């Protein structure tokens, strides 16, 4: 069997793994190996922002996971695309850049993630970012990750922000800055008209270093242990088995589904589950694969009275023109993800900070691109951000090739239904504002007749979709917490030589899309791994709603 030695082995070249590969290989004295099961990300379908729904639904770039039948959704199996390509899910996602609310990270500290409060993580958000328009106390201007706002040339984007203001909500210049709550422009990870994945931002510039090796189409079977010391990995490609030894550490960055799966296959997880599959227990960690969280959303769609939506761009001829222009100039409709305005609001009095997110889109279509309306329309993707429901990731067998069993347990708590009903009614109110008078036609979905709790619940049960934000399955916490999987330095509790660095270590899900906080996690973890001094805490003021105890807005 082929075997080589490295200082660090990183499993997964995704949103976190690419960051780690770049940061760890900055030290020329260490050798770094990255193992990625997917292949190249150089396809036009990945690099052109407006083509985002295509690679997301291609077996070549997507692990093709789906959930078990979800009891709360009438037994529906939910689609769960995960990136299988350099850049991971940052190469197939919607390119939305949302860090999360500052309070999310202060909550992490309260949940046992010492050293991960907002003041602790803000310097790493700033280090990662190169914001078009410059940096400030909140935003970075010297990092690898380029972020930008869309041009908002379609008047519907501005109408959505104005409608939010007319409904009594604040308008924010920058939800990633001082004021999170409100309506405004949406940030995207697009640079010079191209998707700015972590493969483009971090990995590719580092790949010319002689101390970094990236192996694609490398399927990892398990992590190798000697006693409780992780010493490397067993992997294969095209039927050929390999072993790689890690002189310092093995780092698991395979995401919230594959990371708990690999831990369990390697003997780290709930002892009873491992023994059920004949896997020798290295460390009994009952929290591995538990605490699964996600965001659910639905599409609130309105017909447009004016033919100004992206429906005009859906013909083959129009798409050809858009693609040709993008290939030649990297601008035009091909150079945006089309999520250019957004909103974050509170669902009811007593909620201390925003718990509903809006992505606005000047087109009536499903996220996978398959459910295009037959007319001009626009929509808001809307959903609650902090569901109390919890799911799990469990092994189907001890065979690494078998997909894991994923159950989100969506809509299993009464609060979930209360929050979803609020989403329907609050969104309907926003679209009823004068800003949309000239554009507003009939309500395509849910439909004006869907008004009672029972009608709304039936609509939600049938139409709600995942926002594709699985997280929290190897949560960070204190060593004495039996359900914690990694400590505050991302080390796996109960063994040595092994870390997990990806969205699975979030103690709880953040408010908004997960790519930005996942990149931040990797930036901070890189300093922990290298033993470098952490960036100084940055205490900044951020806006907090003053009337949250008594008012919804």
Hey, what are 528's tokens?
């922990």
What's the half-sphere exposure (Cβ side, CA atoms, 13 Å) at 449? 1
- Compute, in degrees rounded to 10, the torsion defined by CA atoms 186, 511, 521, 129: 20
Residues 6+ apart with CB under 8 A from 548: 346, 349, 350, 351, 352, 353
In degrees, rounded to 5, the angle at the alpha carbon of residue 131 between the alpha carbons of residues 130 and 135 is 95
Q: CA 267 to CA 257: how far, in whole Å?
A: 16
Among 32, 4, 1, 29, smallest CA distance to 19 is for: 32
| Domain residue ranges of the chain, discontinuous segments joined by + | 151-185+296-384+411-463
Among 533, 528, 526, smallest CA distance to 21 is for: 526
Q: CA 382 to CA 384: how far, in whole Å?
A: 7
**CATH architecture, range 151-185+296-384+411-463:** 2-Layer Sandwich (3.30)
Sign, CA dihedral 498-501-503-508, equals: positive
Q: Which residue has the tokens 């992206």?
A: 310
Among 266, 272, 256, 218, smallest CA distance to 85 is for: 218
* 3-state secondary structure at position 280: coil
Q: Which residue has the tokens 């009994």?
A: 284
Q: CA 304 to CA 441: how far, in whole Å?
A: 5
How much is the pLDDT for 373?
75
Counting as low any pLDDT under 50, the low residues of the chain are none
- Residue 314: phi and psi, rounded to 5, are -95, -10
Residues 527, 281 contacting (CB under 8 angstroms): no
C-alpha distances (whole Å) from 488 to each of 8, 112, 117, 288 are 20, 8, 11, 16
How much is the pLDDT for 277?
98
* Burial grade of 238 (CB within 10 A; 0-12, 13-18, 19 or more): exposed
Hey, what are 487's tokens?
């400590």
Q: CA 459 to CA 398: how far, in whole Å?
A: 39
DSSP 145-196: EEEEE----SHHHHHHHHHHHHTT--B-S-TTTT--SEEEE-EE-EETTEE-
C-alpha distances (whole Å) from 330 to each of 47, 193, 197, 336, 482 are 10, 5, 16, 10, 51
Q: Is 469 a catalytic residue?
A: yes
How much is the pLDDT for 3?
84
* 3-state secondary structure at position 425: helix
- Please tell me which residue in 295, 338, 359, 469 is annotated as part of the active site: 469
pLDDT, tens digit, 9 for 90 and up, residues 521-539: 999 999 999 999 999 999 9
pTM: 0.97
Residues 6+ apart with CB under 8 A from 493: 283, 285, 479, 484, 485, 486, 487
Residues 70, 465 contacting (CB under 8 angstroms): no
């Amino acid at each position: 069997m082929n075997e080589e030695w490295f200082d660090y082995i990183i499993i997964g070249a995704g949103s976190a793994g690419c960051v780690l590969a770049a940061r760890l290989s900055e030290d020329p004295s260490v050798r770094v190996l990255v193992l990625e099961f997917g292949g190249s990300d150089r396809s036009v379908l990945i690099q052109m922002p407006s083509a985002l729904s295509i690679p997301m639904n291609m077996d070549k770039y997507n692990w093709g996971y789906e959930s078990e039948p979800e009891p709360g959704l009438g037994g529906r199996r939910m689609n769960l695309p995960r990136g299988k390509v350099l850049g991971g899910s940052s190469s197939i996602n919607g390119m939305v850049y949302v860090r999360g609310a500052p309070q999310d990270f202060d909550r992490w500290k309260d949940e046992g993630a010492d050293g991960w409060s907002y003041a602790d993580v803000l310097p790493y958000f700033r280090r990662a970012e190169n914001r078009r328009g410059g940096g400030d106390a909140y935003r970075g201007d010297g990092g690898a990750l380029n972020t930008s706002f869309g041009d908002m040339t379609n008047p519907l984007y501005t109408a959505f922000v104005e409608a939010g203001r007319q409904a009594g909500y604040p308008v924010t210049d920058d939800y990633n800055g001082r004021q999170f709550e409100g309506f405004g422009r949406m940030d995207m990870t697009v640079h010079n008209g191209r998707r700015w994945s972590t493969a483009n931002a971090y990995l590719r510039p580092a790949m010319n270093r002689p101390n970094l090796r990236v192996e694609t189409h490398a399927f990892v079977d398990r992590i190798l242990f000697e006693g409780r010391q992780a010493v490397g990995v067993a992997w294969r490609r095209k039927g050929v088995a390999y072993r790689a030894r890690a002189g310092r550490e093995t780092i698991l960055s395979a995401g919230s589904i594959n990371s708990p799966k690999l831990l369990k296959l390697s003997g780290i997880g709930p002892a009873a589950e491992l023994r059920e599959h004949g896997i020798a227990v290295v460390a009994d960690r009952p929290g591995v694969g538990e605490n699964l969280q996600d965001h659910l959303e639905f599409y609130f769609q309105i017909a447009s009275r004016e033919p100004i939506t992206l429906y005009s761009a859906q013909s083959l001829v129009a798409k050809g023109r858009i693609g040709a222009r993008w290939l030649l100039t990297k601008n035009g409709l091909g150079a945006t993800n089309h999520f250019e305005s957004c909103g974050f609001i509170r669902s009811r009095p007593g909620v201390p900070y925003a718990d509903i997110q809006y992505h606005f889109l000047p087109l009536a279509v499903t996220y996978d691109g398959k459910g295009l309306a037959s007319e001009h329309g626009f929509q808001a993707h809307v959903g609650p951000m902090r569901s109390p429901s919890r799911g799990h990731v469990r092994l189907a067998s001890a065979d690494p090739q078998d997909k894991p069993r994923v159950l989100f347990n969506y809509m299993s708590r009464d609060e979930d239904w209360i929050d979803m009903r609020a989403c329907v009614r609050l969104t309907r109110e926003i679209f009823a504002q004068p800003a949309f008078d000239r554009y507003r036609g009939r309500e395509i979905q849910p439909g004006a007749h869907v008004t009672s709790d029972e009608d709304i619940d039936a609509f939600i049960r049938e139409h709600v979709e995942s926002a594709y934000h699985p997280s929290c399955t190897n949560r960070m916490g204190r060593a004495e917490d039996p359900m914690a999987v990694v400590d505050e330095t991302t080390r796996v509790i109960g063994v040595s030589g092994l870390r997990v660095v990806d969205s699975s270590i979030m103690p709880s899900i953040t408010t908004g899309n997960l790519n930005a906080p996942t990149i931040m996690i990797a930036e901070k973890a890189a300093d922990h791994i290298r033993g470098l001094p952490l960036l100084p805490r940055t205490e900044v003021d951020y806006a907090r709603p003053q009337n949250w105890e008594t008012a919804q807005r």
